[in-house]
Structure 1
Amino acid sequence: MYWCKIARTDKEFDEIAKLNYETFVEEIPQHRPNEKKRLIDRFHSENTYLLVYKGTEMVGMLAFRDQRPFSLDEKIGNVELLLEKEVCHKLCEIRLLAVKKEFRNGRVFSQLAKGIYSYVYDIGYTAAVISGITREKKLYNQLGFHQFAEEVGTEDAKFLPMILTRKNGSKMSERIRFTQNTFFPGPVEQEQPLTHTGTSHRSSEFLSLYNEMRVKLLELSNAKHVTTLVGTGTLANDVMLGQMKADFKETKGLIISNGEFGERLIRQAKKWHLNFDLCTYKWGESFNLLEIEQNLWTGNYHWICFVHGETSIGICNDFEPLLKLAQKYNVKVCADCISSFGSFSFSIEKLHIATAVSGKSLGAMSGLAFIFTNGKPKKNDAPLYINLAHHFNNPLPFTMPAFLVANTLLALQEYPKRFDLLQTRMEQISKSPFLQYCIVQKSLYPMIVSMKLPLELEHFSDDAKLNGLLLHDESMYLKKHRLVQISVVSLNFETALKKLNAFYESYVHVIS
């Protein structure tokens, strides 16, 4: 297995100095020999080194540097004077490209190309320049570089000023088939091409698709009604909360939270000026049913609202005990089921209102928001687009893309088989080395796990990205809590997890 990472350890820096010496002293006579047989680059402290490994052996490297002047500036003058203006906004220089002689094969150079593309793209560089060895011009061209100035150097060491633009880097990525394996909770990559892109939402063809989708959603949820809007889960929750304000008028409710999306629900409820108190718990902590019942026993509350699938922490809050309490104390239960709907079988028939979306566990494209109800919503004063009663009384009042409906219908055809698929995928995580880092192990539900990696693995996610393995960790709430997530909803999850497991095994061995 060939893979790459950013150099960070003393052992790696020593291996860099050794390969640097072998390449740029013994093979290409740029520097004088020394007894230690190590060559430390003059810009070492400013370099970011990308290393390529075969298994646990370092076999190749290169360095990124964006401090000026570049070494290439020293050879040909300010490089911007020879380049098109649009590629000069944020430049870096690639230097010290070296591969051990016995590993100079297509797989190593392909891995270097993947690392270059991923790093340059992620940092936001508009282009990368390099002093390419003349005899390796064909190789640099294959990596996406092209020459932009006359060759420089001595007879023993001639170089070509070359550049890799983002555009060429993208083409290079396609050419070397740099596939990215995502572990995001959404959006979900689609395997089938889009259909019905030109179908009017007023046509009989659209109505047939829409009604079939609606029937499937109601079968899956056991709800009496479903309203579909074009939008996100946040929109769905705003519609729900706006309707709750009308349904419950000035009566007080209880919002229960144990994660980021519970906190989001609270922020949204405050914007709607709902009258409510809070039962808040630490992230991932189970609801305290005794405390909740003590609140309901007072008779002050007429509704409960909470997040069912709390993806921020990888926990599913069971609503059956809440429904029993609600029946006992005659209160209504409303739930954000955005990340749980479609991940496993459950019934919404006893909930007052629940929300879901197309683009998470269901596996369809993002773009449709669903509001499930079990009664006729009361008339309310919310703006028309987010007015549930208006949608309920005037079906399809606004434009809805037929391709989203058709795509969601296609995803719904996979049920109930998809429930078993997601459960099997979760079991695969439970057998992987990542289980040891999961914050919540007893309450895993087949959608996502949240991990807190140890300090020695603090760069694991960044290095995984260089290899096309994209863990979910870039949301601000995840960064704040130092959480890394693996979701099971993506296409080709099984293949991706095998790659991630293999990467982890080599990675841990190298950094230990």
Structure 2
Amino acid sequence: MYWSKIAATDEEFDAIAALNYETFVEEIPQHEHNPSRRLIDKFHEENVYVIVYKNTEMVGMVAFRDTRPFSIDRKIGDVENYLDAEVCEHLCEIRLLAVKKDHRNGRVFTKLATAIYRYFYDEGYTACVISGTVREEKMYTQMGFRQFASAVGTEEARYLPMVLTRQESAVFRERLREQNIVFFPGPVALEKPLIPSTISHRSVKFQQELDEMENELCKLAKANYVIPLVGTGTLANDAMLGQMKSEFPNEAGLVLVNGEFGHRLYNQAKQWGLHIEKIDVGWGNLFDIAQIEAYLQMGGYRYIVFVHGETSNSILNPLDELRELADKYDIKLCADCISSFGSVPFSMQGLHYATAVSGKSLGAMAGLAFIFCKERPFSSDAPLYLNLPYYIEKQIPFTLPHYFVEAVSDALKFYPGRFEVLEKRMATIKNSAFKVTATYPMIATWEHPKMAELLTICALNGFLLHGDSAYLKQRNIAQISTIQPSFEKDFKRLQELLTYVMETL
């Protein structure tokens, strides 16, 4: 397997010096021979090396440097004299592009090229310049480089000043984006192209399809009513909390917190002006049912709000136990089920309100938010777009794209079988070499002291794990979701990559 990473270890820097000598002393006579057969670049401390491995052998490299003057500046003068100002806003130079003779095939050059595109884009460079060997002019041109000054160097080692701009490499970058393998917990990749629909949301046909979608959603959730809104999970939670504010304007409630999205739910409730208290059991800890009951025994609380599937740490919080408490103390139980609905079978019976979305475990395209209701809401002081009784009254008060409804209806056809599919996928992750935590089949959490480096390696090779959020970075964790359509083959490839990566860290 060929794969790439940014050089970081002493062993890798020694391999770079050996390949540097082999290429730029023995093959291209730029430097003098020496008994160590190692050539350390004069800008070594300023270079960032992207290297290519064949399994665990380093076989190719390229160096990035953005400190001026560049080596090409010394050959032709400042490159700004040849290039447009906007191109020169944030430049880097690529040097030392080399591949071992036994590995000079399309796959290694492709890996180097894709690493160049990904790294130089991610670092925000407007262009990169290179002194390309005349004999490889065709290869550089195919990569998107163009010559911008006359050739330089000796007859034995002649080079072309060339540039790759951000704009000129856009087509290559777009191809890479399409090739990325994602393990995000949403949105879900589309298995077929999105075809815009001309069916009006005021038509009889649309109303029929919407009714069918809502009936299937309620059937899957075991809920009495569902209200679809165009928007995200955050919107769904705001609509739910706005309704709670209208129903309990001066009464107290509890928000249960054990992760990032519990904190977000609490902050949203505070913004609505709800009279709430927070029971925070700490990141990743299970709710203490006895502690919650002790609060309820004091009296004065009318509702509990919590996150059912806490994706930030892969915890599925205890719905049945909380429902029993709610029944016992005659309070309303409301749940954010955005990441649990569709990933695990459960009943929303007993939930006063619950929220979900189309673009997570359900496997449909993102765009619809759902508020499930035990009883029809009858009055609200919330703004019109978040006013749930208004949706009930008008049925379709605002534009609702037909292709959203169609996508959700298509996704619902895979249930209940999709529950088993997600369960098997999670079992595959748990049985792998990853040391993960997961209590429900939607997402696994992976902790590693070098997680930042691992995520960079994965991204360079087109594998995108969920790890950019601040709450994940500060804990050295990343997440692998099971909800993407091609999970089985994609996870197999990820495992193969990381088998070799772990041997080099």
Deviation by residue 1:88-129 (Cα, 9 ceiling, x = unmatched): 332211110000001000010111112111111211222221
Give the TM-score of the pair, scaled to structure 1: 0.96
Aligned to 1:471: 465
Q: Which residue identity does 2:317 align to in structure 1?
A: N
**Which stretch of the first structure deviates more once superposed, 266-275 or 160-169?**
160-169
User: 1:80: how far off?
Assistant: 2.7
User: 1:15: how far off?
Assistant: 0.6
For the 8 Å contact 2:176–2:462, the answer to whether it is kept is: no
Structure 2: stretches of 5+ with no match in the other structure: none
Structure 1: stretches of 5+ with no match in the other structure: none
For the 8 Å contact 1:233–1:355, the answer to whether it is kept is: yes
User: 1:144: how far off?
Assistant: 2.3
CA distance in 1, matches of 2:427, 2:175: 35
Aligned to 1:158: 158
Give the match's secondary structure for 1:459: helix
Alignment of structure 1 residues 416-427 onto 2, 5 Å: 416-427=416-427
Deviation by residue 1:340-393 (Cα, 9 ceiling, x = unmatched): 111111111210000001111111111111000011213121110111121122
For the 8 Å contact 1:110–1:176, the answer to whether it is kept is: no
Aligned to 1:73: 73
Alignment of structure 1 residues 170-319 onto 2, 5 Å: 170-173=170-173, 179-319=179-319
User: 1:184: how far off?
Assistant: 0.5
Aligned to 1:33: 33
Aligned to 1:452: 447
For the 8 Å contact 1:232–1:367, the answer to whether it is kept is: yes
Aligned to 1:488: 482
User: 1:402: how far off?
Assistant: 1.7
CA distance in 1, matches of 2:118, 2:417: 35
CA distance in 2, matches of 1:328, 1:410: 39
Give the match's secondary structure for 1:31: coil
Identity %: 54
CA distance in 2, matches of 1:61, 1:448: 35
Give the match's secondary structure for 1:19: helix
**Which stretch of the first structure deviates more once superposed, 197-206 or 153-162?**
197-206
CA distance in 1, matches of 2:53, 2:97: 14
Answering whether residue 491 of structure 2 is matched by residue 497 of structure 1, we say yes
CA distance in 2, matches of 1:467, 1:258: 34
For the 8 Å contact 1:188–1:491, the answer to whether it is kept is: yes
Equivalent residue in structure 2 for 1:506, among 492, 500, 504: 500
User: 1:177: how far off?
Assistant: 9.1
Aligned to 1:403: 403
CA distance in 2, matches of 1:197, 1:129: 46
User: 1:202: how far off?
Assistant: 1.8
User: 1:285: how far off?
Assistant: 0.4
Aligned to 1:113: 113
Aligned to 1:13: 13
For the 8 Å contact 1:117–1:169, the answer to whether it is kept is: yes
**Which stretch of the first structure deviates more once superposed, 150-159 or 263-272?**
150-159
For the 8 Å contact 2:183–2:480, the answer to whether it is kept is: yes
Q: Which residue identity does 1:479 align to in structure 2?
A: K
Give the match's secondary structure for 1:433: coil
User: 1:171: how far off?
Assistant: 2.4
Aligned to 1:368: 368
User: 1:412: how far off?
Assistant: 1.7
User: 1:280: how far off?
Assistant: 0.7
For the 8 Å contact 2:128–2:165, the answer to whether it is kept is: yes
Q: 1:174 to 1:393 in 2, by over 3 A?
A: closer
Aligned to 1:349: 349
Q: 1:495 to 1:173 in 2, by over 3 A?
A: farther
Aligned to 1:390: 390
Deviation by residue 1:132-169 (Cα, 9 ceiling, x = unmatched): 10001111122222222221111111111112223443
User: 1:481: how far off?
Assistant: 2.4
CA distance in 2, matches of 1:175, 1:105: 20
Deviation by residue 1:195-238 (Cα, 9 ceiling, x = unmatched): 34333222233223322221221111111111111111111000
CA distance in 2, matches of 1:458, 1:155: 44
Give the TM-score of the pair, scaled to structure 2: 0.97
Give the match's secondary structure for 1:302: strand
**Which stretch of the first structure deviates more once superposed, 83-92 or 229-238?**
83-92
CA distance in 2, matches of 1:277, 1:176: 47
User: 1:67: how far off?
Assistant: 1.2
CA distance in 1, matches of 2:197, 2:178: 28
For the 8 Å contact 1:194–1:407, the answer to whether it is kept is: no
CA distance in 2, matches of 1:192, 1:204: 26
User: 1:174: how far off?
Assistant: 6.0
Give the match's secondary structure for 2:68: coil
Q: 1:431 to 1:142 in 2, by over 3 A?
A: same
Aligned to 2:99: 99
CA distance in 2, matches of 1:123, 1:191: 31
For the 8 Å contact 2:446–2:478, the answer to whether it is kept is: yes
Q: Which residue identity does 1:80 align to in structure 2?
A: E
Q: Which residue identity does 2:345 align to in structure 1?
A: S
CA distance in 2, matches of 1:504, 1:98: 24
For the 8 Å contact 1:93–1:128, the answer to whether it is kept is: yes
| Count, aligned residues | 505
Q: Which residue identity does 1:214 align to in structure 2?
A: E
For the 8 Å contact 1:178–1:468, the answer to whether it is kept is: no
**Which stretch of the first structure deviates more once superposed, 355-364 or 396-405?**
396-405
